[in-house]
Chains A and B, each alone.
Chain A
Amino acid sequence: MTSGAAAHHVRTGRFEAEFEAEGALVPDQVPAVRLTSITKRFPGVVANRDIDLTIERGEVHALCGENGAGKSTLMKILYGMQRPDEGTIEVEGEAVSFRTPADAIDRGIGMVHQHFKLADNLTVLENVILGAEPRRFGRIDFASARAKIREMAQAYGLRVDPDVLVETLGVGERQRVEILKVLYRGARVLILDEPTAVLVPQEVDELFGNLRELRAEGLTVLFISHKLDEVLTVADTISVIRRGTTVATRLDPRETTSRRLAELMVGSELPTPELRESTVTEDVQLDVSGLTVFTPEGRPVVDDVSLRIRRGEIVGLAGVEGNGQSELIETIMGIRHADAGTVLFGGEDVTHWTTRRRREAGIAYIPEDRHRHGLVLEGPLWENRMLGHQTRPPNVRGPWVDRRGARRDTTRIVQAYDVRTPGIDVPAAALSGGNQQKLIVGREMSGEPRLLIAAHPTRGIDVGAQAAIWDHLRQARADGLAVLLISADLEELIGMSDTLHVILRGRLVAEVDPRTVTPEELGSAMTGAGARS
């Protein structure tokens, strides 16, 4: 390595650690990061509870858990974005207290966010040094920065040209820029939040190559994911978090299987979602055929999807997030336009109807992101009760808002659905997540819908609310409602579905029998690895 001396200069901060690691091929005595009984509460929920986690130097440590298990909160705590209510953080054996991400960066902890934070109109070089510019005689010293980036890029195998504009880069390259940015600031512990969510398989392989090089250079990587096959491929050790606490720590990937991990992630003590006698009728309520949706780049995100939902039937859709589920339901709701195919609702062709017309016809919608799509957080509860129903009684009379009617009905929902709130004039933002969701469910169940599209109806809410929402779904199904259910909770999908489809890269690749399938089989079907039935 010709630039060896310079490379050492770049990595001065880690020089010692590296030297030690080379000297003795055993893990260091002092872990890179140690979290002890971390607890974080939000109004109404405990996001993290007594979490203990040890991350050794020079390892790729994977943290798995379902959506809503508390991974992100934990990482935000470690990165100084939130402060724990209880517990301690030690970095290199020293207790620390981070007030801001800047404090975390000072201690050598860097985070690569799932959504990139890059300025498109700047070059890679400018993006990397932004906010940490080397100066020379009061001016930015681009030459030395460029040299430093080149060295780092070479040392860690992060191929990227420092002088091209970021807007010309692909997703994988952008991610490398993000990693460089963090390394440039002297990070020795990298947190990668769902780094593969946005990558195509080849890019994933490349990223894993990079991670191995980082590890070889003595860096520590904390890898957050819920994709089990990836975790098993890249991690040296695996910890699993469920419902806010660690249920398994430092598992050896050679001694575990994705089946075991799935069990740990899902757990067994949940109130069991299950359906009793079948209520499926012969009336087809929703008939989607050949539905195709393209991205602006012309790639199909929903690819020739056909499915039917009969009255009294719950059709589940299983898939790893980002495989076209969101696009599919948004197209059925009319929020997106179908590029091909038809949507029949109760025998009527609604493919070109507006969202409002579809809602008025009786399609109810529990959106996956309740803060962005389900609620107006600043609005009081009764205004949120009107949302999506603002053309129908009891909320309006002709063109006029019927305040009294809307308010009365909001009170009804609050009581019937057990929404914990002191009143209906508080803004939706003041409620806890579970109560917000119960309000949404109550709202969508009113007005006698004929089809319910429920995306992650119980995500991130407490067990009691979850069981209540399942009850409501069962009741609605018995009353003849057709339901399209999307969930990341495989037990929920299996237990609550009459029919279960698997979606992968925008296509329905399999239909499985929810009465016989196990979460493990479903999980492997979702990743495309398992046998297709």
Chain B
Amino acid sequence: MSEPNGGGEGPSPRKDADPSGPSDRSDPSGRSGPEPVPAWQAILRGLGPRGLGLRIGAPVLALLISLVITMILLRVTGADPFSSVQSMVDYGTTENSIVDIVNRATRYYLSAVAVAIGFRMALLNIGVDGQYRLAAFLAAALGGALTLPAPFGQMLVIVAAMVVGGLWAAIAGVLKVTRGVSEVLSTIMLNAIATGLIAYLLNDQRLAEVRPGSNNVATPRIPDEGRVGSLNGFLSAIGIDLPGEVYGLLPLAIVVGIVFWVVLNHTRFGFDLKVSGLSPSAARASGVDARRMVVYTMVASGVVAGLIGMPELLGASYEYSLNFPAGLGFTGITVALLGRNHPVGIALAALLFGFLDQTSDVLQEVDVPKEIVGVMQGVVVLTVVIVYELVRRWEIRLQQRAVAAELATGHDLAREGSTS
């Protein structure tokens, strides 16, 4: 058993790097072995640079790049980029604008968190739009029909919206695990069904009434006891006086963000969810019930989606009418991408989108079509996504080299432990 095998040039264990080869299936080498995570997956699952400097530096860099691209775009459309941006900033920082921006951002934030919950486990809930509209509509009808003393009416409406959103999303989850229907398709179709359902029920013969003096149709108004007052009282108490009305349910969005963060990072459920998103195969081998996780995650996403319409419903419109804000679910997808599915990132992204939306009107004054704002939003998202991904890959390479280097210089936790 020794003849032609190179004369026993056997490896001497531990002396130097051992010549064992990577196995065919599971190449163990750090650098080339694991298939790199495809960019789109990395984006959806919130992978990004880990170092704090890069986590802040990367988006700042991306925003600068997108600002430059935007200015070039403005230049191409014939406007003066500097004065346009200047007037956007001027207009966006007036007190009136700030209130509107915060209110818009609140809605975007809830919507993006709903989307992000699914994204973190690689579930694409495109149906946030239908979920929140149906939830807001049915909750509005319920709130308009009942008069309950102060905290109970509001709570009932909010809980009803969460239940409706969760149930509507659950349909897609159940279809996926029982029939293998892609959640992308089912949620898109459920959006259409929700639209049809609302159109059918938003009728004076059914759950709504015609507003006298206009041809608007709306659910009965929620009585005064069931409304949530604006946050302005609280804000002036801490010394901030604003002209407009800030949504009274703004704190709800903050709470949702905190809960999202805590659940994701500090609970078993969040761990299972993250692992399912990063490696479904490893999650299954570790005992995560993939089917159950799909349904739970869809429901959680739908429950948060149910909240999207609440600040507006309970704080401003008090009814669901034809004018109720639509399309927030789709904006949420973009905001979640921009915010890297991270609660803080999403908050910043929601504010940025709110700012861009709010200031689009002022562009017309400098002869720029307001639609250019849509282009800007697209540019921002693309730049951030691309820059993040590039930085992430660069960092992984750096890390592997750093690990090899640290081990080479003897910084080794295993050895330190045995000597101490």
Contact = CB atoms under 8 A, between A and B. Distances in A.
Contact of B20 (A247, A389, A461): A461
Contacts of B289: 354-356
A268 B50 CA distance: 45
A390 B10 CA distance: 41
Given A247-B4, A377-B279, A419 B21 contact: no
B30 A432 contact: yes
A334 B290 CA distance: 13
B412 A429 contact: no
Given A388-B286, A424-B413, A72 B24 contact: yes
A264 B2 CA distance: 8
Contacts of B278: 376, 378-379
B315 to A, nearest CB: 33
A466 B13 CA distance: 10
B404 A43 contact: yes
A414 B28 contact: no
A33 B47 CA distance: 43
Interface in A368-420: 368-379, 383, 386-391, 396, 399-401, 403, 411, 414-415, 417-420
Interface string B249-289: 00000000000000001111111101100110110111111
Contact of A73 (B22, B267, B274, B403): B22
Contacts of B402: 422, 430
A353 B407 CA distance: 42
Interface stretch (A7-15, A45-53, A309-317): A45-53
Nearest to B15: A464
A424 B414 CA distance: 10
Interface string B1-24: 110111011110110011111111
A44 B24 contact: no
B34 A388 contact: no
Nearest to A359: B287
Of B14, B37, B268, chain A has the most CB atoms within 10 Å of the CB of B268
Nearest to A410: B413
A426 B403 contact: yes
A370 B28 contact: yes
B17 A41 contact: yes
Interface in B367-407: 396, 399-400, 402-404, 406-407
B179 interface: no
B288 to A, nearest CB: 7
Contacts of A84: none
A432 B20 CA distance: 11
B18 A355 contact: no
Contact of A70 (B21, B31, B32): B21
Contact of A383 (B33, B271, B413): B271
A432 B413 contact: no
A271 B11 CA distance: 10
Given A263-B1, A388-B286, A390-B286, A420 B20 contact: no
B396 to A, nearest CB: 7
Contact of B24 (A67, A379, A383, A436): A67
A335 B281 CA distance: 10
Contacts of B23: 67-68, 433, 456, 459-460
B4 A248 contact: yes
Contacts of B33: 42, 371, 433
A46 B17 contact: yes
Interface residue tally of chain B, by bracket? Answer: 35 or more
A264 B4 contact: yes
Contact of A420 (B21, B50, B288, B414): B414
A41 B13 CA distance: 17
Contact of A390 (B8, B24, B272, B285): B272
B22 A268 contact: no
B27 interface: yes
B206 interface: no
Of B28, B35, B403, chain A has the most CB atoms within 10 Å of the CB of B28
A421 B22 contact: no
A175 B17 CA distance: 38
Interface stretch (A161-169, A237-245, A279-287): A237-245
A391 B26 CA distance: 27
Contact of B11 (A194, A264, A427, A463): A463
Interface in A430-466: 430-434, 436-437, 456, 459-464, 466
Given A43-B31, A467-B13, A420 B407 contact: yes
B22 A401 contact: no
Given A271-B13, A463-B11, A367 B24 contact: no
A411 B285 contact: no
A401 B271 contact: yes
B29 A47 contact: yes
Nearest to A419: B414
B281 A372 contact: yes
A430 B17 CA distance: 16
B214 interface: no
B13 A429 contact: no
B211 interface: no
Given A43-B404, A374-B282, A433 B22 contact: yes
Given A70-B22, A356-B287, A45 B279 contact: no
A82 B23 CA distance: 15
Contact of A434 (B20, B287, B406): B20
A429 B30 contact: yes
Contacts of B29: 42-45, 47, 432-433
A44 B17 contact: yes
Nearest to A422: B406
A463 B20 contact: yes
A430 B400 contact: yes
B11 A69 contact: no
Given A42-B32, A43-B400, A399-B267, A243 B287 contact: no
B20 A45 contact: yes
Contacts of B215: none
B286 A244 contact: no
Contacts of B286: 355, 359, 387-390
Contacts of B32: 42, 82
Nearest to A39: B19
B28 A415 contact: no
A75 to B, nearest CB: 10
A470 interface: no
A121 B35 CA distance: 26
Nearest to A248: B4
Q: Which 9 A-B pairs have the closest CB atoms?
A: A433-B28, A42-B29, A70-B21, A269-B10, A415-B417, A356-B287, A462-B18, A460-B23, A68-B23
27 contacts: A42-B32, A43-B31, A44-B30, A45-B18, A67-B25, A68-B21, A69-B21, A244-B19, A248-B5, A268-B5, A355-B287, A357-B287, A359-B287, A360-B287, A368-B25, A371-B34, A374-B282, A387-B275, A387-B286, A400-B266, A401-B266, A422-B411, A423-B413, A432-B28, A433-B33, A436-B28, A461-B20
Interface of B: 1-2, 4-6, 8-11, 13-14, 17-35, 37, 47, 50, 265-272, 274-275, 278-279, 281-282, 284-289, 396, 399-400, 402-404, 406-407, 411-414, 417-418
Given A245-B19, A271-B13, A464-B14, 7 more contacts: A67-B24, A401-B265, A414-B413, A421-B412, A436-B28, A459-B26, A463-B13
